[in-house]
């Protein structure tokens, strides 16, 4: 299948790799088909979620674990039915990244080398606004069935885990 992207140009993709968001993504409800791209290499930091319905719509996304974020939440019955999850190991959680200056809850305190690398992947420089993430609304994707949704978290509990330093 051939697609056009203002970010990637023309690409040939396998139709079985399309991720469907049956309800779209809030603010982009008409965009339901996406392709997840990543940089080459063994451990990509940044991924790009390209809309197949609008060649100019692409989201920069990342796994929350690279920012030391761990989620623990429950999907409601409708969300479970939408995703059709049979094995919890099939769940992929991503956060949408953006450059901005908002005071909204964001990823802060990113390790400088990670920040510099991520900035370069997003085409930004260190004198531009910081990379921020939509941590209150992660994308939840059933990687086996390629179905996704954006889970809006109304309440987030934060915790800190302290470990004993080795001597």
Domain holding 47: CATH number? Answer: 2.30.290.10
Quick check: is 158 in a domain? no
14, pLDDT greater than 80: yes
pLDDT at 137: 93
Q: Which DSSP letter does residue 41 get?
A: S
Residue 48, domain extent: 2-150
Per the structure, the count of domains in the chain is 1
Quick check: is 156 in a domain? no
Which of the pair, 106 or 86, is modelled with greater confidence? 86
Nearest to 147 by CA among 16, 5, 13, 8: 16
**Residue pLDDT, tens place only, 15-63:** 999 999 999 999 999 999 999 998 777 777 889 999 999 999 999 999 9
Q: How far is residue 157's CA from residue 167's CA, in Å, rounded to a whole number?
A: 32
Which of the pair, 151 or 118, is modelled with greater confidence? 151
Reading the block at residue 144, the tokens are 């086996």
pLDDT at 111: 37
pLDDT at 67: 82
pLDDT at 109: 40
Quick check: is 30 in a domain? yes
pTM: predicted TM-score of the whole model, two decimal places: 0.76
Quick check: is 36 in a domain? yes
Quick check: is 162 in a domain? no
Reading the block at residue 21, the tokens are 């968001």
Quick check: is 161 in a domain? no
Q: How far is residue 144's CA from residue 16's CA, in Å, rounded to a whole number?
A: 10
Q: What are the two backbone dihedrals, phi and then psi, of residue 66, each rounded to the nearest 5 degrees?
A: -70, -15
Which of the pair, 138 or 155, is modelled with greater confidence? 138
């Amino acid at each position: 299948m051939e697609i056009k992207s203002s970010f990637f140009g023309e690409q040939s993709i396998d139709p079985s790799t399309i991720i469907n968001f049956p309800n779209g993504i809030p603010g982009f409800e008409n965009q339901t088909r996406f392709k997840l791209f990543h940089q080459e290499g063994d451990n990509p930091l940044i991924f790009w979620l390209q809309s197949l319905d609008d060649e100019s719509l692409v989201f920069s996304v990342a796994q929350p674990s690279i920012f030391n974020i761990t989620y623990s939440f429950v999907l409601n019955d409708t969300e479970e039915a939408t995703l059709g999850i049979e094995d919890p190991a099939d769940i992929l959680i991503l956060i949408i990244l953006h450059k901005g200056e908002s005071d909204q809850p964001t990823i802060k305190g990113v390790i400088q080398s990670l920040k510099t690398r991520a900035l370069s992947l997003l085409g930004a420089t260190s004198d531009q606004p910081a990379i921020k993430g939509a941590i209150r609304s992660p994308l939840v994707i059933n990687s086996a069935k390629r179905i996704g949704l954006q889970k809006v978290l109304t309440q987030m509990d934060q915790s800190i885990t302290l470990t004993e330093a080795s001597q």
